[in-house]
Structure 1
C-alpha cells in the first residue's frame, strides 16, 4: 500500500494564530485586525506553487494586510506557525515502512517554510520514503494533477492508496480520484484509524 501523509496538523501541529501574534508584536497592529485581514488568497496559492519568490509573497501579504514589516520580521513570524511534532504519527509512519508499505509526505508548503521545518524536525524526513512539496511540483492540493503525479511517481493505483489530510477540500480532491482519504480532525484520528485496521 501507499500511505500519503499531509504535513501541517497531521505530522506537525501548526497554528496560524502564532504567526499573526508575532506579526502583531512586530508591527503593533492589533491581533484582532490581523485576524480579520488574513486570507489565504492568490498570493498564498502562488507561493505554494513556487510561482512567486518568498520576498514577493511577503510584500503581497504585507500590502494586503497593511502590515509595516521588514522581510526579516515577516519571515520570523511566518516560521512561528510550527508548534510541535506529533510523535505518534511519526511512529505510525515508521511502523508502516517496517511492514513493507510505501510512506510519503505530500504538503502544500513554500520555500520559506522549507528553510525551517526539515532542520527543526529531522524525524519527518527519516520516517518518509519521499517528501513531495507543492512549491517544487508547481501545483497544490486539491488539484487532481498533484495526486496523479504522486501516484504516477510512486507506481501505485488510487485503489492501493490511503491519504491523510486535515483539509476537507484536499480530502474531496483525492476522493474524486478514488483514493481512500481520511480527514484528520485531531491527534487521535490516525492512531484510531490504524487501531480499527488491526481489529
Structure 2
C-alpha cells in the first residue's frame, strides 16, 4: 500500500519545460566558431558536466571558467543564461498540475544541473522560480546527481519528508529507478494527461479521493 504522499518533486527539463539541446549548441557554435557536435562532446557529454551536476566546481564563476575553456571562447554569465533560457519552453499543463498540487502538499523542483543554473534560475526559468521559490533545486546543491539515491534522500531530508511520503516525477527511467531505490515513489513522465492519471492513483491531483482530501502535512520528518 502506498503511503500518504506529502511531497512531490518535479524534474525540470523534459517535465516542466521542453528543452531544445540543438538550439543551445547552435547558439554556442555561433559564439565560438566551433561545430555543434564538438561542443556537445567537449562540454555536455563530458565528465566536466557530470562533475558539475554533482557540485564540482562549487561556484558558478568556477563553472563558467571551465565552460569557457572547453568552449574555446569566453562566455559571460548573462550570455550563458540567455542561451539557456532560449532553449527552454514551458509546458503549461504540467505547471497547472503543480499549482494544484501546491494547495495540498509540498512541491519541489530537482534538476541535474550545475550551480550556475541555480544562481541564474530567475533569468533562465522565471516561471519555475515563481511557482517553486526556494524549493527549486539543482543537483549540485546536494553534492550528488540523479540517479544517485543520495540526492533524493537529501532533498527529502531538507524539506522534512520521509522518502516513502515523496514522489519523484522524471522523464528518464534511470532517474525514476534511482528515486525508488532511495525509498521514494516514482513516476516516469510521458505527458501531462498520463501524469494526472498516475498522480490520481496516488490519491493526488484533485480526484474525488485525491489531493482535495489530503491536507498538507504539519508533521515533518527529520
TM bucket (normalised to shorter chain) is 0.7 to 0.9
SS in 2 for 1:106: strand
Unpaired runs of 5+ residues, structure 1, are 63-67
Equivalent residue in structure 1 for 2:67, among 58, 77, 86: 58
Q: Which runs of 5+ in 2 are unaligned?
A: 1-5, 209-222
**Residue of structure 1 equivalent to 2:216:** none
Secondary structure class of the residue paired with 1:139: coil
2:90 to 60, 80, 85: 85
What is the CA distance between 1:3 and its match in structure 2?
A: 0.5
TM-score norm. by structure 1 comes to: 0.80
Secondary structure, in 3 states, of the residue corresponding to 1:135? helix
* Whole-angstrom distance in 2 between the partners of 1:72 and 1:122: 20
Greater shift, 173-182 or 120-129, is seen at 120-129
- Using structure 2 for the length normalisation, give the TM-score: 0.72
Q: Is the 8 A contact 1:5 1:104 kept in 2?
A: yes
Q: Which residue of 1 aligns with 2:195?
A: 190
Query: How do residues 92-103 of structure 1 correspond to structure 2 at under 5 angstroms?
Result: 92-98=97-103, 100-103=104-107
Q: Distance in 2 between matches of 1:117 and 1:140?
A: 18
Partner residue in 1 for 2:123: 119
Residues 171 and 81 from structure 1, CA distance in 2 versus in 1: closer, same or farther, beyond 3 angstroms? farther
Map of 2:27 onto structure 1: 22
Q: 3-state SS of the aligned residue for 1:13?
A: strand
> How far apart in 2 are the matches of 1:131 and 1:88?
18
Instruction: State the match for 1:166 in structure 2.
Output: 171
Q: Tell whether the 8 Å contact from 1:2 to 1:160 is kept in structure 2 after alignment.
A: yes
Structure 1: distance between partners of 2:199 and 2:152: 22
User: 8 Å contact 1:13–1:84 — kept in the other structure?
Assistant: yes
1:166/1:183 contact within 8 Å kept: yes
In structure 1, the residue corresponding to 2:76 is in which secondary structure?
A: helix
Separation (CA, whole Å) in 1 of partners of 2:151 and 2:33: 39
How many pairs does the alignment contain? 193
